[in-house]
Amino acid sequence: MKYRITLIPGDGVGPELVNIVKKVIENLNVDIEWEEVDAGEPAMEKYGTPLPQQVIDSIKKNKVALKGPITTPVGTGFRSVNVSLRQELNLYACVRPCKIYPGVKTKYENVDIVIIRENTEDLYCGVEFPAFSEPAKYIIELSKGKIFSDAAISIKPISKTGTMRIAKFAFEYAKKYNRKKITAVTKANIMKLTDGLFFEICREVAKNYPEIEYEEKLVDNMCMQLVQKPELYDILLLPNLYGDIVSDLCAGLVGGLGVAAGANFGDEYAVFEAVHGSAPKYKGLNKVNPTALLLSAKLMLEYIGEKEPADKLEQAISEVIKEGKCVTYDLGGNAKNYEMAEEIIKKLKS
Ligand code: NAD
C-alpha cells in the first residue's frame, strides 16, 4: 500500500533531521510518498507567512504529517506556527512517550511514562491583551483591584468540551496500550474554577473506566514526585501549559530532548514531531540527536498501521544507543547525526 504523507522540514535543525528520517525510512520497505511543504522561516522568506495555506491543505488532504521543529520568536514576530497548526487542525491531544532506552545516560531506571497533554485550550489559546488596551482595562476593572493597572492580560480558558475529549482520549489510549493508571495534574488548589473543572471532568470520565486507576496530583508536587520516584507513574494527563513544561521534565528523566518523541492527534488528522525545538545554535552542524524525530516517525508508522516496520525501527535505534559507539554528543558520543543514522540503517539491514 502506498501512503502519501505531508512532510514539513521546518527550520533550524529541522531540515537536517527530516532528511535523516527520510533516508532511514527508505530502508524499511514502507511505500511512502512524501509531500514536502515549507513552514516557519523558509515559508516566511518565500511567501511572507510562516504558515502558508498549502501546509494546512496538504495535511487535510493526506491526514498525516511528519514535522520538523519550527522557531517561534519570543515576544514579537509571528505567533507560534506549532500552536496555530494544532488549533487549525483541531489536534487536541498531544502524546509524548518517555521511556528509558538501555545505554542512555540518565540517573534513573525503569521510567516508562506517557504524557497526554491537552493541546488547544488553556493559556496557549492565544487570547492576550496588551497593557492599556481596552479589553485589558475592562478586565482589570472587573478584577476589583486584584490586577495592576498596567498589566497585560492572558486568558486561560478550560472548557468542559475540551477536557471531556482529552480525558476520553487518555482513557481510550490507556485501554488500547494496556496502561494501568492515569494521573491528572493541575493546580486546582489555586485555579479552582479552570483547573478545578479539568479535574472534575477527568473524574467523571474515569468512572467509565473502572479497570484503570485514576488519581489527581498538583503540578508542583508532581514535579517533585517525578524527580524522586518517576517509576510510580504511568500516564500523566495535563492541560496545555503544565503538559508542555512537564514534558520537558520527563524528557530529562529519560535522557534529554534528543530522545523525546511526540505526536498530535485530532479526530481526523495526526501530526508527528519531536518534543524538542529548532535548537538554532546547532543549525547546520549535524550534531543534534536524530532519535527524537526518528521515534516520532516510529509512532507515525504505528499509526498508519505499519507496526512491524515501526518495531524494527525502534529496535535498531535501541541497539545503536545501547552499543554507544556511534551516538551524538548528548548520548556521550561524538558522532554526527547522519553517522548515527547510517549505523541505524546498518542494523535495519542486518
Ligand atoms: P530546543 O528544544 O530547540 O533546544 C534546547 C536545547 O536542547 C538545545 O540547545 C540542545 O542543547 C538541546 N536539544 C534540542 N534538541 C536536541 C536534539 N535533537 N539532540 C540533542 N540535544 C537537543 O529549545 P529552545 O532553544 O527553547 O527553542 C528553540 C526554538 O524552537 C524556539 O523558537 C522555540 O519556540 C521552538 N520550539 C519549537 C517546537 C516545535 O516546533 N514543536 C518545540 C519547542 C520549541
Helix (H) or strand (E) holding 347: helix 337-349
Backbone angles phi, psi at 148, to 5 degrees: -60, 150
The pTM for the full model equals 0.92
Q: Which atom of ligand 1 is nearest to the CA of 81?
A: 40
Find the 269 Cα to ligand 1 centroid distance in Å. 24
pLDDT of 51 > 70? The answer is: yes
Per-residue model confidence as pLDDT tens digits over 96-153: 999 999 989 899 999 999 999 999 999 988 899 999 999 999 999 999 999 999 999 9
Q: Report the pLDDT value the prediction gives residue 126, as an integer from 0 to 100.
A: 85
pLDDT of 311 > 90? The answer is: yes
Q: Which atom of ligand 1 is nearest to the CA of 14?
A: 40
Helix (H) or strand (E) holding 254: none
Q: Whose CA is nearest to atom 37 of ligand 1?
A: 277
Q: Whose CA is nearest to atom 1 of ligand 1?
A: 277
Distance CA 101, CA 87 (A): 32
59-80 mean pLDDT: 86
pLDDT of 183 > 80? The answer is: yes
Residue 132's nearest CA partner among 145, 143, 119, 141 is: 141
Q: Whose CA is nearest to atom 44 of ligand 1?
A: 277
pLDDT of 54 > 60? The answer is: yes
C-alpha cell of residue 345: 540503517
Q: Report the pLDDT value the prediction gives residue 328, as an integer from 0 to 100.
A: 97
DSSP 8-state assignment for residue 38: -
Q: Report the pLDDT value the prediction gives residue 350, as an integer from 0 to 100.
A: 85
Per-residue model confidence as pLDDT tens digits over 210-242: 999 999 999 999 999 999 999 999 999 999 999
Per-residue model confidence as pLDDT tens digits over 235-256: 999 999 999 999 999 999 999 9
Sequence-distant (≥ 6) Cβ neighbours of residue 232 within 8 angstroms: 225
Query: Using 50, 70 and 90 to split pLDDT, how confident is the model at 78?
Result: low
Find the 276 Cα to ligand 1 centroid distance in Å. 4
Chain centroid to Cα 230, Å, comes to 19
Residues with CB under 6 A from ligand 1: 69-72, 82, 257-258, 273, 276-281, 288-289, 292, 330
Q: Which residues are catalytic?
A: 124, 187, 220, 244
Find the 257 Cα to ligand 1 centroid distance in Å. 8
Distance CA 202, CA 224 (A): 22
Q: Whose CA is nearest to atom 36 of ligand 1?
A: 277
Q: Report the pLDDT value the prediction gives residue 272, as an integer from 0 to 100.
A: 98
Q: Which residues pair with 218 in a beta bridge?
A: 186
Query: Using 50, 70 and 90 to split pLDDT, how confident is the model at 75?
Result: low
Q: Which atom of ligand 1 is nearest to the CA of 80?
A: 34
Round the average pLDDT of the chain to a whole number and report it: 95
Find the 141 Cα to ligand 1 centroid distance in Å. 39
Asked if 150 and 131 count as a contact pair (C-beta separation under 8 A), the reply is: yes
34-43 mean pLDDT: 96
